[in-house]
């Protein structure tokens, strides 16, 4: 393991111990009992999203679009289209090891891990090994404390058994899909975001081994309307934790397989 990977792993572990110590213990106990024994609700009464989950293989090629990217491509406005023409697939932020925000993270075909505590959820990704914390008590955002980030700023609330997450304050450096995703023969594989990108996610535990994810995206700068992803099914992974997947932009072999073709 490289020094950079060790440092990243240590930072992640410390953050989770601070934000959700009870959740770490809860998930470890659940893993010891086996995935099928994981309760549908937490000890404090919330739907239990904790675990390691892997999405189905998703993407877009001509004639096969499993992420509704044909619609997204049509929604980019004329100004966005002009900017897209200036870019190539070599400009894909992921090729520079910039972590993909959701919903693009679902297209990486890599496991994610959710750790949960009272009033807080942490979502970790294996690809580019990063995480975000989501308060689930719908706190009010203080505009003076927000600053643009790759993954945006997340605020959650429970609507029945569904965790609804409102994500704003993106820095416009992420894309909404992979450069290898091209739903039509004329697609360029370029899916930019902006400072005004707004994502609303819906996470729902379907059964002991299935998690469901769906997102809507609005962007007053780039899009003429709302883009909605399909409902994505994630299956419980046999592992009890994600691995550390390193990424160095000068080493193509460290990129996820889905991106190497574009490097």
Domains in the chain, please, with CATH? 3-260 (2.40.128.20)
Note if the bond before 44 is cis, omega within 30 degrees: no
C-alpha 144 chain-centroid distance: 25
204 vs 47: CA distance, rounded Å: 8
pLDDT at 123: 97
Q: How confident is the model at residue 202 (pLDDT cuts 50, 70, 90)?
A: very high
pLDDT at 8: 38
Range 85-102 average pLDDT: 92
Closest CA to 217 of 71, 59, 61, 113: 71
Range 145-160 average pLDDT: 94
pLDDT tens-digit readout, 207-238: 999 999 999 999 999 999 999 999 999 999 98
CA 94 → CA 90, 174, 256, 257, distances in Å? Answer: 10, 8, 9, 12
pLDDT at 21: 43
Q: How confident is the model at residue 193 (pLDDT cuts 50, 70, 90)?
A: very high
pLDDT at 259: 55
> Higher pLDDT residue, 122 or 95?
122
pLDDT at 171: 96
pLDDT at 63: 93
What residues does 201 pair with on adjacent strands? 165, 215
3-state secondary structure of 246: coil
| Ranges 70-79, 162-171, 223-232, 233-242: which has the least confidence | 233-242
Is the pLDDT at 73 greater than 90? The verdict is yes
> Higher pLDDT residue, 85 or 38?
85
Is the pLDDT at 177 greater than 80? The verdict is yes
Q: Are 131 and 12 in contact (CB under 8 A)?
A: yes
DSSP single-letter state for residue 245: B
Is the pLDDT at 88 greater than 80? The verdict is yes
80 vs 193: CA distance, rounded Å: 10
Helix 21-33, helix 3-19: angle, nearest 10: 100
Is the pLDDT at 258 greater than 80? The verdict is no
Residue listed under structure tokens 């609804």: 164
Range 136-155 average pLDDT: 90
pLDDT at 30: 43
pLDDT tens-digit readout, 15-31: 443 444 444 434 444 44
Residue 111 CB neighbour total at 10 angstroms: 22
pLDDT tens-digit readout, 180-189: 999 999 999 9
Global pTM exceeds 0.75: yes
pLDDT at 18: 46
pLDDT at 2: 38
């Amino acid at each position: 393991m490289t020094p950079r990977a060790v440092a990243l792993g240590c930072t992640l572990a410390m953050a989770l111990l601070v934000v959700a110590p009870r959740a770490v213990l809860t998930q470890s106990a659940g893993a010891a009992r086996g995935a099928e024994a994981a309760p549908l609700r937490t000890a404090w009464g919330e739907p239990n999203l904790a675990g390691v989950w892997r999405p189905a293989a998703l993407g877009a090629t001509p004639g096969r679009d499993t992420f509704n990217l044909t619609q997204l491509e049509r929604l980019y406005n004329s100004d966005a289209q002009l900017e897209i023409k200036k870019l190539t697939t070599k400009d894909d932020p992921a090729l520079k090891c910039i972590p993909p925000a959701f919903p693009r993270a679902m297209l990486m075909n890599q496991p994610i891990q959710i750790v949960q505590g009272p009033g807080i959820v942490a979502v970790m990704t294996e690809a580019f090994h990063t995480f975000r914390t989501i308060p689930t008590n719908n706190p009010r955002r203080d505009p003076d404390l927000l600053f643009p980030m790759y993954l945006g700023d997340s605020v959650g609330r429970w609507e029945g058994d569904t965790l609804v997450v409102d994500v704003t304050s993106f820095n416009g450096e992420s894309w909404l899909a992979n450069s290898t995703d091209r739903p039509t023969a004329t697609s360029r594989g370029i899916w930019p975001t902006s400072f005004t990108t707004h994502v609303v996610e819906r996470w729902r535990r379907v059964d002991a081994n299935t998690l469901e994810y769906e997102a809507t995206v609005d962007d007053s700068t780039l899009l003429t309307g709302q883009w909605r992803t399909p409902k994505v099914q994630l299956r419980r992974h046999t592992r009890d934790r994600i691995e550390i997947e390193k990424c160095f932009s000068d080493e193509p072999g460290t990129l996820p397989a889905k991106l190497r073709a574009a490097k």
